[in-house]
Amino acid sequence: MPHFEHVFEASASGESPITLLALHGTGGNEHDLVPLAQELAPRAAILSPRGKVLENGMPRFFRRLAEGVFDLDDLTQRTHELADFVAEASERYTFDRARVVAVGFSNGANIASSLLLLRPETLAGAVLFRGMVPIVPSEPPALGGIRVLLSNGRRDPLVSVAETERLVALLTSAGADVTLAWQHSGHDLVPAEVPLARKWLEEQQWRPSARG
């Protein structure tokens, strides 16, 4: 399987309704979002890889040329590599590929959005914290049946309100069911987002047939 340093935690109950694909932000690692994932969905299995690109020694999931300017060739390559990793991990750890839900923060949210746009078969849904448009595909994907929660800050210096609305429009136009939750915050997560995302996850019906 494509090599990523990663953590996998099977469902504590032995019956995992979903597997959360935990995707850290710049400078994070495979351990960073595991506690958050556990809090968001206590019964879920968790797959948490470490980004393979280093920026000044800090792990990321893809290269950027400047703040908010992405290396699209590298992004495309890394997106396909991550999608292949998830597919092969599902065989190794025997979790249901049809019920993988990404939970990403910042750079992790952006690679999750890229998965939705370039390899939509990888995810049944996503929780995106501080996400922005990573890439606009030449052909829009078919995202019918995929549910997305996007939680962004109105005072975020890195992701503007207009950029947030652009991501919502891009995903919605491809058929995704997008819930946008605004936070009175900047780029950092705030405590209110945890119960919000947990409730949203609990309300979804993550069945294999949900994506048609």
pTM to 2 decimal places: 0.94
The segment with the largest mean pLDDT, out of 57-71, 105-119, 195-209, is 105-119
Active site residues: 106, 156, 187
Confidence band, pLDDT 50/70/90 cuts, at residue 1: low
Instruction: Point out which residues pair with 92 in neighbouring strands.
Output: none
Q: How confident is the model at residue 39 (pLDDT cuts 50, 70, 90)?
A: very high
Sequence-ordered list of residues with C-beta below 8 angstroms from that of 108, at least 6 positions apart, any chain = 22, 23, 24, 25, 28, 33, 51, 61, 102
pLDDT, residue 68, reads: 82
Distances, alpha carbon 119 to alpha carbons 64, 115, 141, 142, in Å = 20, 5, 8, 10
With a cut of 90, say whether residue 20 has pLDDT above it: yes
Q: How high is the pLDDT of residue 66? A: 87
Q: What burial letters (b/e) apply to 62-96, b meaning 16+ CB within 10 Å?
A: bbbeeeeebeeebbbebbbebbebbbebbeeeebb
pLDDT higher than 50, residue 210: no
Q: Determine, yes or no, domain membership for 121.
A: yes
The pLDDT confidence band at residue 14, using thresholds 50, 70 and 90, is: low
pLDDT band with cut points at 50, 70 and 90 for residue 212: very low
Average pLDDT across the chain, whole number: 93
The counts of H helices and E strands in the chain are: 5, 11
Number of compact structural domains in the chain: 1
Classify the C-alpha dihedral 70-71-77-78 as positive or negative.
negative
Q: Judge whether 76 lies within some domain.
A: yes
Instruction: Note whether residue 16 is domain-resident.
Output: yes
Residue 1 lies in a domain: no
d(CA 103, CA 39): 12
Residues 22/34, Cβ–Cβ less than 8 Å: yes
- Catalogue the E-assigned strands of 95-198: 100-105, 125-129, 147-153, 177-183
pLDDT score for 209: 38
With 70 as the cut, is the pLDDT of residue 176 above it? yes
pLDDT at position 110 over 80: yes
Residue 75 inside a domain? The answer is: yes
The pLDDT tens digits of the residues spanning 126-167 come to: 999 999 999 999 998 999 999 999 999 999 999 999 999 999
Domain-embedded: residue 182: yes
Boundaries of domain holding 124: 6-211
**Cα 48 to chain center, whole Å?**
11
Strand-pairing partners, residue 181, are 151
Domain of 102: which CATH number? 3.40.50.1820
Identify the pLDDT of residue 100.
97
pLDDT for the residue numbered 3: 86
pLDDT the model gives residue 35 = 97
Residue 116 lies in a domain: yes
Tokens of 160: 């503007």
CA distance 106 to 191: 16
Q: Is position 85 within any domain?
A: yes
pLDDT given at position 2? 61
